[in-house]
Structure 1
Amino acid sequence: MTARPDAAGWARLVGRALLLVLAVAICLVPHALWQLFRLPSPWPKWFMVMVTRICGVRRVSVGVPLKRDVFFVANHLSWLDIPVIASANGTAFIAKEELSRAPVIGWLARQNRTVFVSRADRMGVAEQINQLRDALAEAWAVTIFPEGTTTDGQSLLPFKPSLLAVLDPPPPGIMVQPVVLDYGKVAQEIAWVGIEEGQDNAVRVLSRKGSFRVAVHFLEPFNPRDYPGRKAINAEARRRIEDALVAIRGRPLRPFPGHDVLATVPPGVAYEGAE
């Protein structure tokens, strides 16, 4: 069970929660006006910038993210990964369909052009792939967390290539850019893993004292047309992310404890694809 914050921790939690509500209020009206006039809205990205700062994140970007026609593939530690990456490049995300029904969070995700998918809807897989193709055709940058769940920042799970079917064959002009999230010394403290409930993790992160550095490494993009099929694309993206993580950490990654029998997956954060 997650330890409850002390009085100072509760004060930080309440203060940050109020600031998050204020950030929504600041961005809501101008975002609606941009949408009314059918203009590309910069406000979701600016909102994500506010979220990261309020939550104590001090983001450092390493490398250059592609601006359009790109499929980002990233490792996954926390719900914070979403605002961290989006604040750097304005990307949309692929998320589990359950997230779309979550109060407030589902609405916020739709404002950031999230593509919702359902792993239970086997008959609708083709339609989900079509939604992704439409998103990419509109020059969106789309991010997927192919591990299907979060880890402790010291490991990297096998990637699940199901939704990479959108890249088989790749739409014209689309590139794949691997992304490495490095939370450094606070990785295990921030990570949302195991049986911890989402609200408990949010309380723990938002009540935390001080700030912390997160480095977002945008690795060299590659052309998916150079790899025969989604499994090869998936393997290449994972190889590059693993190599970068090893180089950043200066030692090999370790196996994630119990990942083969992991029964509890954080809800609404990342799509769990199945082969």
Structure 2
Amino acid sequence: MIANLRLAGRLLALVVALLGGLALHGVCRLFRRPSLWPRRFLGLVARIVGARVRVVGTPLDRDVVFLSNHLSWIDILAIAGATGSAFVAKGELRGVPLVGWLCTLNRTLFVSRDDRLQVAAQIAQLRTAIGAGGPVTVFPEGTTGDGVTLLPFKAALLAALDPPPPGVRVQPIRVDYGTATPELAWVGDEPGGAHALRVLRRRGRFPVTLHLLAPFDPAAAGNRKAIATQARAAIEDAA
């Protein structure tokens, strides 16, 4: 009963935040001003679901590709709120009502892992986004992990950094949920909706620490596999 009341309260807070954010976004569009609403909204959503984000280190604000470990959909909220980063996401997410639209507002790059014919076009799209200067986040593990074992990094999309656009740096991020990790990591066959409801019903707050690690020059690292190896080693060492 209490868990369901907690769920209802958080859902109501999310609706209020969405409506308020949409109004602010509309005003920005009306006066043709850049809208910071998606970043602030995603950061607020993280707080509503219980996250208390702490940033260790300094994120680069442009010409950067963040490479991060991946535990949950909450990672996106926390990283977006802290850095304003766009993300690379699976293509089917575009068709999810509301979520797909919100992803578009946050300049999400949708990719299809199954369409091999589109790989070159997707790499070119990502390379263009990186070259535009705004921060972009990639989760090289390709899926969420348990927060204990760092999965192998898949270097396929890092082809956009081989060679990198001029001046671009890579900054690894380690996401850490502390003692709440077993409850929040999204692993196994649990449906996304069930995981979201479980988080929304969860009692209390939980820490999310973003360790912004030392940036490095991807051109100096070598090819995409070397970039993936160096970033993974940095994240593993930060554990």
TM-score category of the 2 structures, normalised to the smaller one: over 0.9
The Cα of 1:122 is off from its aligned counterpart by 1.1
Q: Are residues 1:93 and 2:87 paired?
A: yes
The residue aligned with 1:118 is 112
Secondary structure of the residue aligned to 2:89 is: strand
Change (3 A) 1:86 1:129: same
List per-residue Cα deviations over 1:183-231 (Å, max 9, x = no partner).
Answer: 0000011111101111111111000111011110000000001022100
Q: How many residues align structurally?
A: 239
The residue aligned with 1:76 is 70
Q: Are residues 1:140 and 2:134 paired?
A: yes
The residue aligned with 1:217 is 211
Q: Counterparts of 1:176 and 1:152 in 2: how far apart (Å)? A: 24
Secondary structure of the residue aligned to 1:72 is: strand
Q: Counterparts of 1:116 and 1:138 in 2: how far apart (Å)? A: 17
Q: Are residues 1:106 and 2:114 paired?
A: no
Q: Are residues 1:205 and 2:199 paired?
A: yes
The residue aligned with 1:252 is none
Unaligned runs of 5+ in 1: 1-6, 246-275
Secondary structure of the residue aligned to 1:20 is: helix
Secondary structure of the residue aligned to 2:67 is: strand
Unaligned runs of 5+ in 2: none
Change (3 A) 1:234 1:100: same
Q: Counterparts of 2:31 and 2:165 in 1: how far apart (Å)? A: 29
Give the letter for the 1:188 counterpart: P
Q: Counterparts of 1:37 and 1:172 in 2: how far apart (Å)? A: 33
Give the letter for the 1:91 counterpart: S
Q: Counterparts of 1:40 and 1:135 in 2: how far apart (Å)? A: 17
The Cα of 1:140 is off from its aligned counterpart by 1.2
Q: Are residues 1:21 and 2:15 paired?
A: yes
Q: Counterparts of 1:57 and 1:228 in 2: how far apart (Å)? A: 37
The residue aligned with 1:267 is none
Give the letter for the 2:126 counterpart: L
Q: Could you tell me which of 167, 182, 190 is aligned with 2:176?
A: 182
The Cα of 1:32 is off from its aligned counterpart by 3.2
Identity %: 54
Instruction: Calculate the TM-score normalised by the size of structure 2.
Output: 0.97
Q: Counterparts of 1:39 and 1:122 in 2: how far apart (Å)? A: 38
The residue aligned with 2:149 is 155
Q: Could you tell me which of 107, 113, 125 is aligned with 1:131?
A: 125
Q: Counterparts of 1:38 and 1:177 in 2: how far apart (Å)? A: 32
Give the letter for the 1:181 counterpart: V
Change (3 A) 1:142 1:151: same
Secondary structure of the residue aligned to 1:86 is: helix
The Cα of 1:38 is off from its aligned counterpart by 4.5
Give the letter for the 2:28 counterpart: W
Instruction: Calculate the TM-score normalised by the size of structure 1.
Output: 0.85
Change (3 A) 1:57 1:119: same
List per-residue Cα deviations over 1:54-84 (Å, max 9, x = no partner).
Answer: 0010111000000001000000100100001
